[in-house]
Amino acid sequence: MKKILSALLFLFIFSPCAFAIEEEIHLEQNLDGDFVQSITGHTKEEFEQQLQADKDTFLSNLKSAPNDVLKLQIERTDVPSQLLKKQLTMKFDRGPLESFQTWVALQGNITTQMNENSDTDTKFNMALINIIFDGKFRGGKEGFRLMLDPTPTHARGFLQQFIQDAYFETNRIPHHNVLIGNSRPGVGYEGAQSPYTLPFVARSQISRNLANVRKFGLRVRGDYSLVDYDFGGYSSDTFFREFFPGFEFDGWVNIKPLGKTDGKWGKIVAGGGIVAGKKHSLDYFMTGAALSYEYKRFWARAEYANSDGSNGGSGSTSNRAEGFYATAAYRLTKKIEVLARYDEFNPDRSKDHNNQREYTAGLNYYIKGQALKLIFNYVFCQNDAKPDSHKFIVGTQIVL
């Protein structure tokens, strides 16, 4: 039954593509041979043979997809992974593109919340729907990404939410990646982290309030064994709300003192950075620092942020905010990880008794790495200005 359901799923995803290939073959059979050769550089017969070969390869990959997924072994969880990477990657022998890859990422959770009055609220949340297109140009030095996000939200208009990443990048400078377009700036450690590798269902409070936002600009990232950095100049607009309301600089530097020891004593990363900008009449400035350590099955991270005005995920504000979190995790097996986090945030230091604290215990079950995982979080929310509450969250992540 599982194999039948898997086959139906793959047919649902890929059958339109197979139909398109079939139609393209019939179309080209009716075209003039000289026209085909002028466009493709091949004779009509060669082009038809190549189309048929592409169709055969596609159908072969489609047929083997259920078994490929069942046999897939993914141990790394610090990077995103896909269930259907081979099936959703196209490679080209000719033309400007060398490869084209499609991702589909889904995150959903069921949350039950209880407050001090014993009121209970349970709801399902489709937390994330991402459709990603990654292209590499001939030679592999340049590429692009377009990420679409149709996730239901009330915070922004549909079109503002719909286009997320949209950038061109080049790696022609050794150890560097230069990017121009719309992307998630490198603000903080977790604030810039991929949503597909987050340890908990939700980001920390400083990350989701002061970071976790897309902006348009020019960005330079460097990566060496002992240091990496992320510098960028951006429009202070977020999510295409308005045209260039001001300029923003984001800079973050990480020091890796054990970077040349091949992990013998683990991995230490100490980082810090600033965000400084102006949006209309609002001037804002934020500083942050993070420290992490990883050794075999154990890892821990702590991060602090302080802002005098901000322009992050919770919007632009003149409030002076401050926050801190610390996370520790241990891998019981290759697939099961237990975690705990203390998270404190003050959204406005000018107000007394305004702290918001979250105590989170988590369990991650990596069925197929980050490509298919189950998540359980318990969160105790302690808010100076509101009643305390408890959250029980069961979530899943699927990356095709």
Q: If pLDDT is split at 50, 70 and 90, which confidence band does 8 have?
A: very low
- CA nearest neighbour of 105 among 80, 135, 71: 80
Q: What's the pLDDT tens digit per position in 38-49? A: 555 566 676 666
Q: What's the pLDDT tens digit per position in 322-363? A: 999 999 999 999 999 999 999 999 999 988 888 999 999 999
Q: If pLDDT is split at 50, 70 and 90, which confidence band does 12 have?
A: very low
Average pLDDT, the chain: 86
Query: What integer pLDDT is reported at residue 38 of this predicted model?
Result: 56
Exposed / middle / buried, residue 299 (Cβ in 10 Å: 0-12, 13-18, 19+):
buried
Angle made by CA atoms 208, 394, 366, in degrees to the nearest 5? 90
Spell out a b/e string for 41-70, using b for 16 or more CB atoms within 10 Å of the CB, else e: eeebeebbeebeeebeebeebbeebbebbe
Query: What integer pLDDT is reported at residue 310 of this predicted model?
Result: 94
Spell out a b/e string for 251-277, using b for 16 or more CB atoms within 10 Å of the CB, else e: bbebebebbeeeeeeeebbebbbebbb
- CA nearest neighbour of 279 among 219, 217, 234: 234
pLDDT for 22 beyond 50: no
Q: If pLDDT is split at 50, 70 and 90, which confidence band does 380 have?
A: very high
Query: What integer pLDDT is reported at residue 26 of this predicted model?
Result: 47
Q: What's the pLDDT tens digit per position in 279-331? A: 999 999 999 999 999 999 999 999 999 999 999 988 899 999 999 999 999 99
CATH tag for 72-399 (out of 3.30.70.2740, 3.30.70.3280, 2.40.160.10, 3.40.190.10): 2.40.160.10
pLDDT average, residue stretch 177-195: 92
pLDDT for 9 beyond 70: no
pLDDT for 247 beyond 70: yes
pLDDT average, residue stretch 155-182: 90
pLDDT average, residue stretch 4-24: 42
Query: What integer pLDDT is reported at residue 25 of this predicted model?
Result: 44
Token pair for residue 103? 């991702």
Q: Is 304 helix (H, G, I), strand (E, B) or coil?
A: strand
Report domain extents, the chain: 1-71, 72-399
Q: Where are the beta strands (DSSP E) in the chain?
A: 89-91, 97-115, 120-137, 142-148, 163-170, 176-183, 215-223, 227-235, 247-255, 267-279, 282-295, 298-312, 315-331, 336-346, 356-370, 372-383, 389-399
Percent of the chain residues topping a pLDDT of 90: 63
Query: What integer pLDDT is reported at residue 297 of this predicted model?
Result: 94
Q: What's the pLDDT tens digit per position in 92-129? A: 888 899 999 999 999 999 999 998 777 788 999 898 99
DSSP label at 347? Answer: S
Q: Is 59 helix (H, G, I), strand (E, B) or coil?
A: helix
Query: In angstroms, rounded to a whole number, what is the distance separating the alpha carbons of residues 308 and 30?
Result: 66
Percent of the chain residues topping a pLDDT of 70: 84
